Amino acid sequence: MGESQAMLEPLDRVRLNATKCRELADTAMTTAARDVLADLAQQYEQEAILLERLDPQRRRGPAFRWSRA
């Protein structure tokens, strides 16, 4: 990941944080650490869902609009 986190869009940054927390939770040495990191990942995922709903430009649609001639 050569891209700086500061350069990412807020939604992408939140998704990246969720992914990193999940990865850290998978390798955590204690159950408590696993639980904290998994909960934090879930919070980031909920925040990403909210950000996606608030930003109409992020709604996914077709990559191309084919004209019908």
Instruction: Report d(CA 24, CA 27) in Å as an integer.
Output: 5
Is residue 3 in a domain? no
Is residue 9 in a domain? no
| Number of domains into which the chain is organized | 1
Q: What percent of the chain clears pLDDT 90, i.e. is strictly above it?
A: 58
Longest dimension (CA), the chain: 62
Expressed as residue numbers, the domain containing 45 is: 14-57
**What is the CB-side half-sphere exposure of residue 24 using CA atoms within 13 A?**
15
Is residue 20 in a domain? yes
Per-residue pLDDT tens over the stretch 28-57: 999 999 999 999 999 999 999 999 888 766
pLDDT the model gives residue 59:
56
Is residue 24 in a domain? yes
Is pLDDT above 60 for 58? no
Is residue 36 in a domain? yes
pLDDT the model gives residue 37:
97
Is residue 18 in a domain? yes
